[in-house]
Amino acid sequence: MELKKAEKRDLRKLKKIYLEAFPKAERKPFWLMKQKALQGKMELLSIQEKGEPVGLAFMVLYQDLALLDYFAIAHAYRGKKIGSKALELLKERYHKQRFLLEIEQVDKAASNNAERIRRKQFYLKNGLHETGIQVSVFQVPMELLTDGRPLTFEEYYGIYLTSIGPVFARQIKRLP
C-alpha cells in the first residue's frame, strides 16, 4: 500500500469514494478542496493498492496542525486493514505536526450510532485520543481526537478561519 499526493488521473475515483462515503451535510465542495490543495492549504492524498486508488485522505494544514478532514476507504476494500495501515502512514507523514480529526459524536438517538461507535473505536485502537472538545461542524455534532498532543478549540478554529476561510469558519461552533 502507498500514500501519495493525488494526481489528476486519480481525482475521478477519489471524488466517487468521497461522495459515497460522506453524507451531503458533511461534505465541502470538491472543487474547493482542489483549489485549497493548489494553494498549499490542503493535501489531497490517494491511498493506493497496486497503483489504484482505494481510499482517500484529505488533510488541512495550518501552522503545526494537520487536520484529517476526510478519510475513507472504498467499500470493496474495507475490512482488510487498509484503513489502519493508511492511518499509520498518515501519522508518520505528519509526525512533526499535531495530528487531529473530527468524528460524529456517539449518540444513542442517531440512526447510525453503531457506525459512530465503530468509527470511534477504530481511531482509539489506532492510537488517537479524546480531547474532550465537542464542536458543531456545519450543524453536525462532532468531537475532536488527536495524536495525544494538546489542542485548544481556538487552535482548531484557526484551521478553518485561515485555511478554509471565514465563510466556512462561521459554521464551526464549540459545544458545551
Task: Please tell me the predicted confidence (pLDDT) of residue 25.
Answer: 81
In one letter, which amino acid is 147? D
pLDDT tens for 86-106 read 999 999 999 999 999 999 999
Q: Phi and psi for 169 in degrees, rounded to 5?
A: -60, -30
Residue 126 has pLDDT above 90, yes or no: yes
- Whichever domain contains 16, its CATH number is 3.40.630.30
Q: What is the tally of structural domains in the chain?
A: 1
Residue 124 binned pLDDT confidence (cut-offs 50, 70, 90): very high
- pLDDT confidence bin for 165, thresholds 50/70/90: confident
Which residues form the domain of 47? 2-175
* Mean pLDDT score, 122-139: 96
Residue 102 CB coordination number (10 Å): 20
- Structure confidence at residue 138 as a pLDDT band (50, 70, 90): confident
**pLDDT on residue 120:** 97
Give yes or no for a contact between 11 and 34, defined as CB atoms under 8 angstroms apart.
yes
Contact 40, 87 (CB under 8 A): no
What pLDDT, in 10s, does the model give residues 52-74? 999 999 999 999 999 999 999 99
Q: How far apart are CA 160 and CA 158, in angstroms?
A: 5
Average predicted confidence (pLDDT) for the chain = 95
Amino acid at 61: L
Per-residue pLDDT band for 107 (boundaries 50, 70, 90) equals very high
CB neighbour class for 42 (10 Å; exposed up to 12, middle 13-18, buried from 19): buried
Residue 43 has pLDDT above 90, yes or no: yes
